[in-house]
Chain A
C-alpha cells in the first residue's frame, strides 16, 4: 500500500496556489490540505494524482476570524481548532460539539474543515454542519472568486460544485443568535467511525414556539442537506417529544437513502428517524 508517484508543488500564497491549480488540474492535479482522507485513498491507489498542490505552507489560509456577523475559516484551519469553544456564542459550542465526533484526536490535528468540505464524503460531519447552517463556501481560482451557498455546493458522493481549477479557500458561517438551541447526533458502530446517519438541528423559541428550525441530515443520502419537510413540522410548534417524533418521521420519509450492500436503505431510514429525533431532543 504505497502511493503511486506524484510531483508535489508547494505554493506560499493563494495566488500561487490557484495558478498552480489552473496549470496542473488538467494534468490530474489535486489539492493536498490535511491529507487525512486523500493520503489513505492514495495509499490504496484508488487515487493517483500526478501532481499535488500542497497548500499547507500558504500562511494566509490559517485564517480563523470573525468578520462582521460571520465566522471565517480558512482552508488550512484544522479540525482541532474547534476542540475548545473559542468561537463566541452557540456557534462555538456547536462546532466544539460536532468536532468531537470527527474521527480521532490525531486525525483532527491534521485534517482541515475545508478539506472535509471539498472531499464531500456523505458521512462528513462538517459537510452536514455547512449544509444545516447554510454556510457560504468561497472558491478561488486564477483571476476569480465566487461564493457558493452550501445548498448548492454538495452534488453527491464526493462531488461538489467546485470546478477542477477552484480551491476552496474558506468557509463562512453566520454567527448564531444567543438563544439558538442545537443538537447533534450520529450513529456509527465504533467510536470515531464514519457515520451511517447523522443529524444536526438548530432552532430558537419565540413565545415558547419553535422558529427558524434547521434540520440537517448527513450520512444517509449522497449528500447532506436540510430537510424542509421536517422543519415545516417543527416551526410554530411547542418543542415536545411528539413534535420531535413527527419531525423525525417526516425526515425519514423525505430522505432517499444510499443503497449499500451492508446497510440496506430501510435501515438507513430508521437511523435517520432516530438521529433526527435524538438531535432535536438534545437541542431542547
Chain B
C-alpha cells in the first residue's frame, strides 16, 4: 500500500482536508473521504457520467481524475446546487418535468447541464442534446430530462 497524501478539497465552498492514496479517484474521495454521497458512481470508466462534478468551473467526470489532482481546487457537487431551501432552476425543472425516476443518474445530469450552461449559456437546444448524450439514464428514456434542461436553460438565460 502506498502512502497517503494530505490534500484539501474545497467542496461547495468548504475546505475539507483529507488524506488519500494517490490512486483514490476524485469521485471516491468526495464520497468516502468527504462524505458527500450525492455524487454517484455508475461505471468508474468515464462512460455513464453519473459522477459528473464541476471542478474550477469545468464539468468533468470525477471518476477520471485522481483526488490528488484536485488539491486546492473548487469543486461543486449536487449538494451545493441549491441555496438553502431555494432550489437551482435546473433542480426545479427536473422535478417539474419528471426528469428523474430512480434518481441515480440525476446528480450527474444536473451538474453536467449546469456546468455547461454556466460556461455557454447561449448554447442551442440541439447542441444541448449533444451535451446530454454525455451521460446515461436508464429510466426516463431521456424525454423529460431534455425537456427539463431546455426549460432550465431558458430560465437561466432569462435571469442573466
Q: Decide if A and B touch, CB cutoff 8 A.
A: yes
**Does B134 count as interface, using CB distance less than 8 angstroms?**
yes
Given contacts A36-B64, A40-B64, A110-B64, contact A5 B133 (CB under 8 A): no
Interface membership of chain A positions 36-70, coded 1 if the CB is closer than 8 angstroms to chain B and 0 otherwise: 10011011100000001010100000000000000
The residue that B23 contacts in the complex, of A3, A105, A192, with Cβ under 8 A, is A3
- In the complex, A8 Cα to B30 Cα: how many Å? 20
**Does A155 count as interface, using CB distance less than 8 angstroms?**
no
Bin chain A's interface residue count: 20 to 34
- In the complex, A88 Cα to B148 Cα: how many Å? 37
The residue that A43 contacts in the complex, of B44, B130, B131, with Cβ under 8 A, is B44
The residue that A39 contacts in the complex, of B2, B28, B59, B65, with Cβ under 8 A, is B65
**Does B63 count as interface, using CB distance less than 8 angstroms?**
yes
CB distance A54 to B69 under 8 Å? yes
Stretch from B45-53, B87-95, B152-160 contacting the other chain: B45-53
CB distance from A117 to the nearest CB of B (A): 18
CB distance B69 to A56 under 8 Å? yes
CB distance A106 to B65 under 8 Å? no
**Does B145 count as interface, using CB distance less than 8 angstroms?**
no
**Does B33 count as interface, using CB distance less than 8 angstroms?**
no
- In the complex, A255 Cα to B5 Cα: how many Å? 49
The residue that B22 contacts in the complex, of A7, A190, A191, A192, with Cβ under 8 A, is A7
CB distance B1 to A5 under 8 Å? yes
Given contacts A36-B46, A105-B59, A106-B60, contact A191 B23 (CB under 8 A): no
**Chain B: interface residue total (CB-CB under 8 A):** 31
Residues in B with CB closer than 8 Å to A42 are 23
Given contacts A6-B23, A7-B2, contact A100 B130 (CB under 8 A): yes
Residues in A with CB closer than 8 Å to B69 are 35, 54, 56
CB distance A39 to B46 under 8 Å? yes
CB distance A110 to B2 under 8 Å? no
Interface class of chain B by DSSP: mixed
**Does A261 count as interface, using CB distance less than 8 angstroms?**
no
**Does A109 count as interface, using CB distance less than 8 angstroms?**
yes
Given contacts A3-B23, A5-B21, A105-B131, contact A40 B46 (CB under 8 A): yes
Residues in B with CB closer than 8 Å to A104 are 49, 131, 133-135
Residues in A with CB closer than 8 Å to B116 are 105
- In the complex, A106 Cα to B25 Cα: how many Å? 16
CB distance from A32 to the nearest CB of B (A): 8
**Does B100 count as interface, using CB distance less than 8 angstroms?**
no
CB distance B58 to A44 under 8 Å? no
CB distance from B146 to the nearest CB of A (A): 13
CB distance from B124 to the nearest CB of A (A): 13
- In the complex, A44 Cα to B131 Cα: how many Å? 26
Residues in A with CB closer than 8 Å to B46 are 36, 39-40, 107
Residues in A with CB closer than 8 Å to B59 are 105-106, 109
CB distance B112 to A105 under 8 Å? yes
**Does B68 count as interface, using CB distance less than 8 angstroms?**
yes
Return the chain B residue nearest A111 by Cβ. B64
CB distance B64 to A105 under 8 Å? no
Return the chain A residue nearest B22 by Cβ. A8
- Give the interface of A toward B (CB within 8 A): 1-8, 35-36, 39-40, 42-44, 52, 54, 56, 80, 100, 104-107, 109-110, 190-192
A-B complex: 6 closest residue pairs judged by Cβ atoms: A104-B134, A40-B45, A5-B2, A191-B133, A8-B22, A109-B58
